[in-house]
């Protein structure tokens, strides 16, 4: 797909991944003035009215918007996570179909995979069991959108594609401890421990689970490449294939940030899914995507960004 001249909507385009996607769209030839980033204050995408308004006259929808967070938020607000994500996606897809949108790119979640998926996760294993319990409401809601896109392609010829990015991280991520994912949560925890001079840092779980992480800039590039070239509704993984334990992750962040205190593992807290690591071969075969930013380099860039913006983030939280 030639992106020049296309009217493109990027839901969630003001978020940390969304900003990177908009930049990558422009780099790939899209016209900046033709990219619409709907804001929640103007478009409540859990309502059909807002979804209808946002898709009128558009050629491409890149759906990134999500109500999402870490284990804490998943345990506190499972109903909201299920409802908000299902309604946003399902109604937006329906509205896009009704209004003749040329292509719909849906960004799903690694949380859609079963709890005990064989590692590395292959796309064909996505239906081989139920998601990890704390992730299930969010994961099932997002997975339903895959079924919707496949059925809409079969019945209507609607061109929808579905991507499964692994855990994302990068500059401008959500660093609020009440809702952040593991990397920004840990970076903030270490930073604040350094500011206070704490000799210990508490960490949830026992450190044994493994995760794979994808830098936001790489994820955005993959999403845009799929927008241009992918013409199938089969789910496609986006990742690096690099797996690291939470214990090794915490120790690496401490090393990069120069923290020498002790880690205290809170084994009464949940670990989450035991392992996460993707098979990324299909993305390479279908549209030539491979991650470029090494994990350590991505962490350094994320840490540097947070250090530069920590005071502003805390001030904004205090005002809110």
Q: Give the pair of three-digit tokens for residue 247.
A: 């214990």
Beta-strand runs (E) in the chain: 8-11, 35-36, 60-63, 103-107, 160-165, 167-169, 200-204, 210-211, 213-215, 236-238, 244-245, 262-266
From the list 113, 138, 259, 306, the catalytic residue is 138
Catalytic (active site) residue 138: yes
Beta-strand runs (E) in 19-157: 35-36, 60-63, 103-107
The residue assigned the tokens 């880690």 is 263
The residue assigned the tokens 């999402």 is 68
Sheet holding 8-11, edge to edge: 35-36, 8-11, 60-63, 103-107, 160-165, 236-238
Q: How many residues does the chain have?
A: 320
Calpha distance 81→227 (Å, rounded): 26
Calpha distance 172→19 (Å, rounded): 9
Phi-psi region of 128 (alpha: psi -120 to 50; beta: other; left: phi over 0): alpha
Q: How far is CA 128 from CA 112, 115, 160, 214, in A?
A: 11, 9, 23, 24
Residues designated as active site: 138
């Amino acid at each position: 797909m030639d992106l020049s001249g296309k009217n493109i909507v990027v839901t969630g385009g003001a978020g940390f991944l969304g900003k990177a996607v908009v930049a990558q769209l422009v780099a790939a030839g899209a016209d900046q003035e033709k990219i619409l980033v709907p804001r929640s204050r103007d478009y409540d995408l859990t309502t059909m009215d807002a979804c209808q308004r946002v898709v009128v006259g558009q050629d491409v929808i890149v759906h990134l918007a999500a109500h999402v967070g870490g284990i804490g938020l998943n345990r506190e607000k499972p109903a909201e996570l299920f409802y908000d994500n299902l309604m946003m996606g399902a109604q937006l897809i329906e509205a896009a179909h009704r209004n003749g949108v040329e292509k719909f790119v849906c960004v799903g979640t690694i949380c859609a995979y079963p709890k005990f998926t064989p590692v590395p996760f292959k796309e064909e294993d996505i239906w081989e069991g139920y998601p990890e319990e704390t992730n299930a409401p969010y994961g099932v809601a997002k997975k339903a959108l895959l079924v919707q896109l496949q059925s809409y392609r079969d019945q209507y010829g609607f061109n929808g594609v579905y991507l499964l990015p692994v855990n994302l991280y990068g500059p401008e991520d959500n660093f609020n401890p009440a809702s952040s994912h593991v990397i920004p949560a840990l970076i903030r925890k270490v930073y604040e421990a350094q500011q206070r001079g704490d000799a210990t840092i508490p960490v949830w779980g026992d450190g044994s689970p493994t995760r794979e992480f994808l830098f936001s800039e790489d994820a955005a590039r993959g999403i845009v490449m799929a927008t241009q070239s992918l013409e199938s509704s089969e789910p496609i993984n986006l990742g690096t294939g690099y797996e690291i334990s939470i214990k090794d992750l915490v120790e690496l962040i401490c090393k990069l940030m120069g923290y020498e205190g002790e880690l205290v593992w809170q084994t009464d807290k949940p670990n989450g899914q035991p392992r996460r690591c993707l098979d990324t071969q299909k993305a390479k075969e279908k549209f030539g995507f491979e991650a470029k930013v090494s994990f350590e380099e991505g962490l350094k860039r994320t840490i540097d960004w947070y250090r530069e913006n920590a005071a502003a983030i805390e001030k904004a939280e205090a005002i809110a």
